[in-house]
């Protein structure tokens, strides 16, 4: 993917991506509350997302880039992504959106920690301090009620940890694999897992509204992913990374409008700690990372 350095476009694309991702999460929660299963959500999300990735690769005349060059690592990446999606999808109906997203903000912190172990990158004391502060922020923001490690919280934490491990795997594969191959096999894995293991739980949609909701999930998910990648085409990761936290505003508004849930004061305080630590790691903190020789 050729790069053009136009930070303003990169930032706008990133803001749009996380707005769309917030809508996807709200629709995901609403669809499952309407009686559809997490496996079925994955199936429709996977079909639409796969078609979108093929269309993008075709437009870029890079269909050959979808081939696996490192089969074992791509299969590992697929397993991590699909498992992370299934766990987080299952958690959505049982949590406020703002709580789910606060846990997801642990992703950059976990990636930094895993980079030291997997990619042999040296993590400085100030980075470890930022990771610890971010974790405390999540604990504080969730409050005593949701931090009691109920099933939904455990699934969300486990799913985000798997997504973080997947991102580290992407970094290890980025020199040999096509950018668009990562989401392509992610969506293919979602179809395979949900179709093979959870087809017995499927409830076929009957009305145009139900079909629209399920197909809309895949469109929103794929659109957010494409915009995230395009944002990185125009601006550095360290430039756009802080803007991922804009989704906090959207999920708070969606919680208030759709589910009549209002964040407590401690949620805002904890969220501030998580955001500050994440921004530090994404900008100043990343400068301290060096490969161990």
**How does DSSP assign the chain, residue by residue?**
------HHHHHHHHHHHHHHHHHHHHHHHHHHHTT--HHHHHHHHHHHHHHHHHHHHHHTT-GGGGS-SSHHHHHHHHHHHHHHHHHHHHHGGGS-HHHHHHHHTTHHHHHHHHHHHHS-EEPPHHHHHHHHHHHHHHHHHHHHHH-S--HHHHHHHHHHHHHHHHHHHHHHHTTTS-TTHHHHHHHHHHHHHHHHHSGGG-----SHHHHHHHHHHHHHHHHHHHHHHHHHHHS-HHHHGGGGGGHHHHHHHHHHHHH-----HHHHHHHHHHHHHHHHHHTTGGGG-EE--
pLDDT at residue 87 tops 90: yes
Report yes or no on 1 lying in a domain. Answer: no
The answer to whether 24 touches 250, Cβ cutoff 8 Å, is no
Q: How confident is the model at residue 293 (pLDDT cuts 50, 70, 90)?
A: very low
When mean pLDDT is compared over 2-11, 50-59, 109-118, 174-183, the highest value belongs to 50-59
Report yes or no on 151 lying in a domain. Answer: yes
Report yes or no on 119 lying in a domain. Answer: yes
Report yes or no on 165 lying in a domain. Answer: yes
Tell me which residue range forms the domain holding 278: 7-291
pLDDT at residue 63 tops 90: no
Nearest Cα residue to 268 out of 250, 279, 252, 282: 252
Looking at residue 121, its pLDDT comes to 66
pLDDT at residue 281 tops 80: no
pLDDT in tens, 131-173: 888 888 888 887 766 665 688 888 999 999 999 888 888 777 7
Strand partners, 122: 290
pLDDT at residue 1 tops 70: no
Record the tokens describing residue 286, joined without a space: 């990343």
Looking at residue 151, its pLDDT comes to 87
Look at the chain and report how many structural domains it folds into.
1
pLDDT in tens, 242-260: 788 888 889 999 999 999 9
Task: Quickly tell me which residue has 């993917």 as its tokens.
Answer: 1
Burial class of 199 by CB neighbour count within 10 A (0 to 12, 13 to 18, 19+): exposed
Looking at residue 146, its pLDDT comes to 61
pLDDT at residue 237 tops 60: yes
Task: Quickly tell me which residue has 């999930």 as its tokens.
Answer: 217
Report yes or no on 2 lying in a domain. Answer: no
Looking at residue 203, its pLDDT comes to 83
Looking at residue 208, its pLDDT comes to 93
Q: How far apart are CA 178 and CA 61, in angstroms?
A: 12
Looking at residue 286, its pLDDT comes to 52
User: Which residues touch 43 (CB under 8 Å, ≥6 apart)?
Assistant: 190, 191, 194, 195, 198, 202
The mean pLDDT value for 203-207 works out to: 86
Flag the least confident range among 71-80, 129-138, 196-205, 265-274. Answer: 196-205
Q: Whole-number mean pLDDT of the chain?
A: 83
The mean pLDDT value for 62-82 works out to: 81
Q: Report the percentage of the chain scoring pLDDT > 70.
A: 88
Q: What is the total residue count of the chain?
A: 293
- Chain Cα centroid distance, residue 9: 21
Looking at residue 4, its pLDDT comes to 66
Report yes or no on 171 lying in a domain. Answer: yes
């Amino acid at each position: 993917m050729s790069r053009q350095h136009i930070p303003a476009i990169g930032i706008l694309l990133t803001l749009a991506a996380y707005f769309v991702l917030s809508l996807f999460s709200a629709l995901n929660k609403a669809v499952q509350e309407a009686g559809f299963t997490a496996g079925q959500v994955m199936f429709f999300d996977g079909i639409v997302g796969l078609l979108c990735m093929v269309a993008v690769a075709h437009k870029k005349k890079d269909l050959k880039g979808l081939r696996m060059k490192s089969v074992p690592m791509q299969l590992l990446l697929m397993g991590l992504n699909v498992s992370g999606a299934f766990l987080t999808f299952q958690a959505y109906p049982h949590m406020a959106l703002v709580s789910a997203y606060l846990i997801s903000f642990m992703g950059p912190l976990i990636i930094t920690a895993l980079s030291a172990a997997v990619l042999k990158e040296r993590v400085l004391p100030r980075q470890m301090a930022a990771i610890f502060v971010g974790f405390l922020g999540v604990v504080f923001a969730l409050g005593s009620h949701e931090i009691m490690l109920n099933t939904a919280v455990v699934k969300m934490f486990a799913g985000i940890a798997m997504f973080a491990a997947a991102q580290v795997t992407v970094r290890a594969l980025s020199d040999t694999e096509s950018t668009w191959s990562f989401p392509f096999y992610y969506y293919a894995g979602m179809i395979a897992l949900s179709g093979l293991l959870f087809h017995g739980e499927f409830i076929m949609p009957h009305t145009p509204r139900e079909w629209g909701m399920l197909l809309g999930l895949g469109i929103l998910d794929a659109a957010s992913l494409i915009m995230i990648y395009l944002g990185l085409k125009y601006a550095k990761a360290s430039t756009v990374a802080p803007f991922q936290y804009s989704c906090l505003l959207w999920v708070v508004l969606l919680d208030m409008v759709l589910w009549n849930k209002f964040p407590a004061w401690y949620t805002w305080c904890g969220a501030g700690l998580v955001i500050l630590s994440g921004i530090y790691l994404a900008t100043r903190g990343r400068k301290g990372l060096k490969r161990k020789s």
